[in-house]
Copies of this chain bind each other. A is one copy, B any other.
Amino acid sequence: MTSFGLAVIGAGYWGPNLIRNAMATPELRVEWLCDLDEGRARAVLGHYSTVRATDSYERVLADPAVQAVAIATPAGTHAALVRAALEAGKHVLVEKPLTPTYAEGERLVALAAEKRLTLMLDHTFCYTPAVRKIRELIRSGEVGEVRFVDSVRINLGLVQPDVDVLWDLAPHDLSILDFVLPPDVRPVAVAAHASDPIGAGRPCLAYLTLWLSSGAMAHVHVNWLSPTKIRTYVIGGSRRTIVWDDVNPAQRVSVYDRGVDLTAADPDTRRAALISYRTGDVVVPALPEREALRGVMSEFAAAIKEGRAPLTDGESGLRVLALLEAAGQSIDNDGKRIELGGGFGQ
């Protein structure tokens, strides 16, 4: 089997997960773990690893055994690191968010296209069995028309030094939304409210409202200050409603045949007659237990090999940036509704 030489950049919170999963992926050959603090990289590798640690990104990019890099550094460094990698001819897997601004992200996507290199976003949740199943349920029509989406992602989280809660957590919710919605249903406007009740200097909790092209509404609640961990994603459909509870491993995804229907549109009929309630069974589909990052790594390797766009490509990263930027703009304008451009960019 051909394998690609990979360097992981960043030995902080997420890097160790990337390197562990990369090492378990036969199509990848891990060459380096690079961190500004070489000692931290060594500590992550431990005493028994043949992977090399370094603090020199230049050395990594100069190594012809390296065909690809996986970047897990603070968001503010992404633009420069991705650009350097692409210019050195390396394929790139990068943590979300792609960059702190849409404009920077757009330039990277263009550069990758020009260089015919893979630029992939680590939208990890899109590779969970739960999200794969949800996408399948929606795109197969089983859910019917999407009527509402409600996502809650709250926990006692690390107050990040460089990003607010919106840029830290909402990329998960937004990339999942991007991934599971039917291709013809897209966000058209955003409003957001945020609060910093501890004086951290940046929002620690935020609420986003998204209007979709279908007329439906999606809502996201992200919060770093909650003492309980809740990760619930509800997708209400005209035929079924999906509830994904990610902290309940015994029953992550439930598909409810319950809902409210308008059974007729006859304006002469009395309203009460028009509404009916379904209270059918709930089905909990069996899902494999599989680490999502394993799927990220396989997809990265496969996209490189096949020269095709990965499932979570640079464009998906840009769509998330467009939403984040618009949300930030709304926060700065008292929750004003911000329309998204055709390409969601401006």
Contacts and interface: CB of A to CB of B under 8 A. Distances in A.
A224 B277 CA distance: 11
Contacts of A13: none
A2 interface: no
Q: Which of A47, A215, A251, A265 has the most CB of B within 10 A?
A: A47
A279 B156 contact: yes
Q: Which of A198, A205, A272 has the most CB of B within 10 A?
A: A198
Nearest to A330: B335
Interface string A3-42: 0000000000000000000011000011000000000000
A200 B275 contact: yes
A258 B223 CA distance: 14
A204 interface: yes
A150 B227 contact: no
A101 B305 CA distance: 56
A50 B256 CA distance: 44
Copies of this chain present in the complex amount to 4
A284 B251 CA distance: 12
Interface residues on A, range: 35 or more
Contacts of A280: 286
A185 interface: no
Interface in A186-224: 191, 193, 195, 197-201, 204-205, 207, 209, 215-217, 219, 221, 223-224
A83 interface: no
A172 B335 CA distance: 24
Contacts of A250: 228-229, 247
A259 B47 contact: no
Nearest to A272: B161
A260 B198 contact: yes
A223 B24 contact: no
A127 to B, nearest CB: 20
Contacts of A125: none
Contacts of A236: 197, 225-227
Interface string A144-165: 0001101010101001010000
Given A200-B260, A227-B256, A334-B337, 20 more contacts: A23-B48, A49-B50, A148-B223, A148-B225, A161-B272, A191-B193, A191-B334, A197-B216, A199-B265, A204-B260, A219-B221, A221-B221, A226-B234, A227-B259, A228-B234, A228-B243, A257-B286, A281-B286, A334-B336, A335-B337
10 contacts: A23-B46, A23-B47, A47-B50, A48-B49, A148-B225, A225-B260, A226-B241, A228-B234, A282-B283, A335-B335
